[in-house]
Amino acid sequence: MTTIVEEQSHPRDYYKAALEDGSLVMKPYCSCGNILEENYFCEKCQKRCHCSLIVCDDEATLELVQTYIRKSPRFSAFRAKLKDEI
């Protein structure tokens, strides 16, 4: 049987999440650090990005995102971490 091992040390495309006026705001970023437009295409790397990681600014944001991940099918494919854990 083949075991799939996911490398954790390589950079990944991600959403940067923060609370602004009580609302969750998420902005997509390429693994190179370039902010992405609506089409998720990175002009710097010349690649289409796929964000599955949500990087949260603080504990309150992380708790809200984790609640969405547990309760909403739209968030079920995402993982969340604090920005200090990356």
User: Does the pLDDT value for residue 12 go beyond 50?
Assistant: yes
**Rounded distance, CA 80 to CA 52, Å?**
9
Domain ranges for the chain: 14-85
Decide: 29 and 35 in contact? Cβ < 8 Å. yes
Q: Which pLDDT band, with edges at 50, 70 and 90, does 11 fall under? A: confident
- pLDDT at 18 (0 to 100): 97
Decide: 82 and 56 in contact? Cβ < 8 Å. yes
